[in-house]
């Protein structure tokens, strides 16, 4: 099988290439980040590629998981990323700073394994929030309850997770004991890219080692005081599992904060199904007459806490939307537009021999 096919290349990406690009540039996938460079893998093997300044100025910096087009490199030189292909999905979080902006952590992830350590109880509200963010990314979520060997009632915790994640697969595993690993491997078939998502201390690195069958990631014990761990992974990387699937792990991929409201509806499909019986099509389930959702809560068919979580996420989504259209966000857009324009003009001048 061609290398690119094993890395997830398919019609979605090949259709983006013009005939000229297909004959002039080499497609590759970013498998690790190295600051100003990427580790890329293509039909010609694996190596470093340079990210040019024009892509940084334009805000088009490739990340791990991206498919890119590479220029041919001179003997002894490194290829340059010519273009980043459109993403099928993107795991992102809010960037640091006052302005509302998105920072993409990984691209073209098919499935996100949301890992929770069963050395602590399942938090349904936090799980629902995470699943809403994963749905918004374009990837399919799967809940992984790790450290089952440290839990007195894993079946009870699984029931809690399933109630907070209707329609989402929930797997119970123990990287330490080798429990549930075959079910996890089946979720990452050849050509599929999966990412591990979860806070430090839930055993993501241990799961990586167990799925790979070798200790490639360092691990550390959690603190007894607060059951938190130290993130031991030092860089985002994409590895091929023995069965052919691809697994992504790395610092920063701990939590996906809500960015907009796109993922809320699929994360609360159970509430949406009940809402079909509301008297008003635009019912917000906040005291309107004939509300089927309120009736379900009163009858005990829907937990009141779940409806409260839905309302909280909807309020956050509206607040984020207002911030993105506010004066600070607009000023930030104007600033980056000016920077991008200056970068393009400098590049044109240099090509014509006018610049240094």
Q: How many CB atoms within 10 Å of residue 341?
A: 12
Q: In the prediction, which pLDDT does 322 show?
A: 85
Q: In the prediction, which pLDDT does 310 show?
A: 97
Strand partners, 115: 144
Contact 260, 275 (CB under 8 A): no
Q: Pick 229 or 51 by higher pLDDT.
A: 51
Residue 135 and residue 230 share a domain: yes
Find, among 194, 26, 17, the residue nearest to 108 by Cα: 194
- 104 vs 50: CA distance, rounded Å: 19
- For the segment 250-265, what is each residue's pLDDT rounded down to a tens digit? 655 677 778 778 899 9
Contact 116, 255 (CB under 8 A): no
Q: Is residue 302 part of a domain?
A: no
| Residue 350 phi, psi dihedral angles, 5° rounding | -65, -40
Where is the domain boundary, 86, 109, 127? 86
Confidence class for position 221, pLDDT limits 50, 70, 90: very low
Instruction: Tell how strand 140-146 and strand 111-117 pair up.
Output: parallel
Residue 77 and residue 129 share a domain: no
Residue 221 and residue 120 share a domain: yes
Identify the sign of the CA torsion 13, 17, 19, 23: negative
Confidence class for position 339, pLDDT limits 50, 70, 90: low
Q: Is residue 267 part of a domain?
A: no
Q: Round the average pLDDT of the chain to a whole number and report it.
A: 85
Give the count of domains, the chain: 2
Residue 128 and residue 42 share a domain: no
The whole-number average pLDDT for the span 10-18 is 96
Contact 206, 150 (CB under 8 A): no
Q: Is residue 82 part of a domain?
A: yes
Q: How many CB atoms within 10 Å of residue 339?
A: 14
- 310 vs 318: CA distance, rounded Å: 12
Q: In the prediction, which pLDDT does 224 show?
A: 44
Q: In the prediction, which pLDDT does 109 show?
A: 96
Strands (E), the chain: 26-34, 37-42, 45-50, 67-70, 81-84, 90-94, 102-107, 111-117, 140-146, 170-172, 193-197, 237-240, 246-249
Q: Which two structure tokens, joined as six digits, stand for 126?
A: 């936090």
- For the segment 275-316, what is each residue's pLDDT rounded down to a tens digit? 999 999 999 999 999 999 999 999 999 999 999 999 999 999
Q: CATH number for the domain including 105?
A: 3.40.50.300
- For the segment 71-124, what is each residue's pLDDT rounded down to a tens digit? 987 666 889 999 999 999 999 876 655 445 678 889 999 999 999 999 999 999
Residue 46 and residue 100 share a domain: no
Percent of the chain at pLDDT exceeding 70: 81
The whole-number average pLDDT for the span 135-139 is 93
Q: In the prediction, which pLDDT does 259 show?
A: 76
Where is the domain boundary, 86, 119, 137? 86
Residue 220 and residue 134 share a domain: yes
Domain region containing 14: 3-86
Contact 139, 246 (CB under 8 A): no
Confidence class for position 342, pLDDT limits 50, 70, 90: low
- 273 vs 294: CA distance, rounded Å: 13
Residue 114 and residue 61 share a domain: no
Residue 72 and residue 120 share a domain: no
Q: In the prediction, which pLDDT does 355 show?
A: 45
- For the segment 151-209, what is each residue's pLDDT rounded down to a tens digit? 999 999 999 999 999 999 999 999 999 999 999 999 999 999 999 999 888 999 899 99
- Triad 312, 317, 321: Cα angle to 5°: 150
Residue 120 and residue 36 share a domain: no
Q: HSE on the CB side for 63, CA within 13 Å?
A: 22
Q: CATH number for the domain including 54?
A: 2.40.50.140
Q: CA torsion 164→105→240→18, rounded to 10°?
A: 120
Q: Is residue 352 part of a domain?
A: no
Q: Is the pLDDT of residue 39 over 60?
A: yes
Residue 245 and residue 96 share a domain: yes
Where is the domain boundary, 202, 231, 249? 249
Q: Is residue 154 part of a domain?
A: yes
């Amino acid at each position: 099988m061609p290398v690119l096919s094993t890395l997830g290349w398919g019609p979605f990406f090949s259709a983006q290439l013009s005939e000229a690009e297909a004959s002039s540039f080499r497609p590759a996938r970013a498998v690790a980040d190295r600051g100003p460079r990427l580790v890329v893998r293509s039909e010609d093997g694996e190596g470093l590629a340079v990210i040019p300044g024009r892509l940084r100025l334009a805000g088009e910096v490739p990340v791990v998981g991206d498919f890119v087009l590479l220029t041919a490199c001179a003997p002894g030189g490194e290829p340059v990323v010519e273009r980043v292909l459109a993403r099928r999905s993107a795991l992102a979080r809010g960037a640091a700073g006052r302005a509302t902006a998105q920072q993409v952590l990984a691209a073209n992830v098919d499935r996100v394994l949301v890992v929770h350590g069963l050395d602590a109880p399942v938090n349904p509200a936090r799980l629902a929030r995470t699943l809403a963010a994963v749905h918004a990314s374009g990837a399919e979520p799967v809940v992984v309850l790790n450290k089952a060997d440290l839990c007195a009632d894993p079946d009870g915790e699984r029931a809690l997770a399933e109630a907070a994640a209707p329609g989402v697969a929930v797997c119970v595993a123990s990287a330490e004991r080798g429990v549930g690993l075959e079910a996890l491997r089946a979720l990452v078939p050849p050509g599929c890219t999966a990412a591990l998502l979860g806070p430090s201390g839930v055993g993501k690195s241990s799961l990586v080692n167990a799925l790979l069958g070798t200790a490639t990631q360092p691990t550390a014990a959690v603190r007894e005081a607060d059951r938190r761990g130290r993130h031991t992974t030092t860089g985002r990387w994409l590895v091929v599992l023995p069965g052919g699937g691809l697994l992504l792990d790395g610092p920063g991929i701990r939590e996906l904060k809500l960015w907009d409201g796109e993922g809320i509806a699929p994360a609360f499909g159970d509430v949406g199904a009940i809402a079909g019986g509301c008297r008003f099509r635009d019912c917000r389930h906040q005291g309107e007459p004939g509300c089927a959702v309120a009736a379900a809560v009163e009858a005990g068919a829907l937990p009141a806490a779940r409806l409260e979580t839905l309302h909280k996420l909807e309020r956050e989504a509206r607040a984020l939307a207002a911030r993105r259209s506010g004066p600070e966000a607009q000023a930030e857009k104007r600033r980056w537009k000016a920077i991008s324009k200056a970068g393009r003009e400098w590049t044109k001048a240099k090509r014509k021999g006018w610049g240094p």
